[in-house]
Chains A and B, each alone.
Chain A
């Protein structure tokens, strides 16, 4: 551990703790809360179904050869899209300390996804139930959120960056095929172009094994607040190298990063990041630093 590490650790040592009174109050209150939630949950199930039904008209009942399977398939607009291979689902809203939390419960599997609806934010979620190659189910919740009123461009990159990063761990061929199918189905049904395009591009990147190294929303590059997506292509760079990466962030905006790599670790030095310009590109080229143009 470096001296700086020790100093930070030392500075954060403290001896404060919650009072016994506060802890006792919490323990006393939780018993009451549990009862309240059960009542609230029962009362809100009917209401939330009605809202979903009226708002987007996305609840469907499907008949299959195996009998009636109820499922919920949503349009991924400002709500959610559920992809699964046949499981009873139940959607309801509960109130937790004054905050509405949407829940989707896979009743057969005893799995519940919670989607906090934060004030001022819209969350886009894609729920996947994927049958793994080992026979077990994976429940995957892909989500990205943007502030209400944000541009569609922001929405596009939030989904593109956030979703791709969250699914890259699923690389088994069985799982991957189902996830790709879900992404494409969700893209087909999306009402918003930015969502449709983002899901299509996520599917393309995922299919072509592109991975994300870092995303930051907003990213701090020279104290500017910009979206940053850095793909993991840098892992192919030589150890010990110092490279300049031109990384596509979006069609209009690119960054140049300085990458430091050593045997144990590698990181992107954000302080050295800069908005791409032809002049700056020329400047670093003249320093004879290797340039990896990832556009």
Chain B
């Protein structure tokens, strides 16, 4: 990949890649690190972007980067658990503060509250389920694309999505949301 390719990728899809990192880590500082590592790795491993002016070619590279980020984070996560260095809910965790909006009506405030609760629920899912949730709902990837990216069968993607959705549904119901 050339520096120009990378520049184009950052300009077009940098935000997507960053937000994916942010969803995974739940913290701006960690997201910065993960984003940086992801792009370095993509730059080194990806031979080239077929056609940097072609939208689908760039999108493939974006998906490729999301895969790198997921794998890198898996390693970080495992090390964290293994060494019990920090938990995901320590003072570094600024996940929700970044989503705050100017809710000036009661309805909007309630919506924000549900979104906040749901984001926390998603973040507390096992990492494997979280990955497919983010890729499916946030990155808008199909089951087939996720399967290919994470190198797991489509059936596994579906079952992880289904299990995650069921878990979220139960948590929402317990909280009294319909």
Contacts and interface: CB of A to CB of B under 8 A. Distances in A.
Interface of A: 4-5, 7-12, 14, 16-19, 22-23, 25-27, 29-31, 33-34, 37, 96-97, 114, 116, 118-120, 165-166, 212-216, 220, 230, 232, 265, 267-271
A16 B34 CA distance: 14
Given A11-B118, A26-B10, A216 B3 contact: no
B129 to A, nearest CB: 8
Given A34-B43, A220-B163, 13 more contacts: A9-B137, A11-B118, A16-B31, A17-B14, A17-B18, A18-B35, A22-B35, A96-B40, A120-B82, A216-B160, A230-B155, A267-B159, A270-B162
B45 interface: yes
A214 B98 CA distance: 36
A139 B16 CA distance: 30
B79 interface: yes
Given A17-B14, A214-B159, A216-B159, A8 B133 contact: yes
Contacts of A265: 158
Interface of B: 3, 6-7, 10, 14-15, 18-19, 22-23, 28, 31-32, 35-37, 39-41, 43-45, 71, 75, 78-79, 82, 98-99, 111, 114-115, 118-119, 122, 126, 128, 133-134, 137-138, 151-153, 155-156, 158-160, 162-163, 165-166, 168-169, 172
A12 B60 CA distance: 21
Contacts, number: 128
Contacts of B160: 216
Contacts of B159: 214, 216, 267-270
A19 to B, nearest CB: 8
The 5 residue pairs across chains A and B that have the minimum distance between CB atoms = A214-B155, A11-B118, A213-B155, A11-B115, A18-B18
30 contacts: A4-B168, A8-B118, A8-B137, A9-B137, A9-B138, A10-B111, A11-B114, A11-B119, A14-B23, A16-B31, A16-B98, A17-B14, A17-B18, A18-B15, A18-B18, A22-B35, A26-B39, A26-B40, A27-B3, A96-B41, A97-B40, A118-B75, A119-B75, A214-B156, A215-B153, A216-B156, A220-B163, A267-B159, A269-B162, A270-B163
Contacts of B39: 26, 30
A29 B158 CA distance: 39
Contact of A33 (B43, B75, B138, B152): B43
Contacts of B43: 30, 33-34
Given A17-B14, A18-B32, A165 B153 contact: yes
A4 B99 contact: no
Contacts of A16: 18-19, 22, 28, 31, 98
B162 A8 contact: no
A181 B157 CA distance: 31
Given A12-B122, A271-B166, A7 B114 contact: yes
Contacts of A269: 159, 162
A269 B167 CA distance: 12
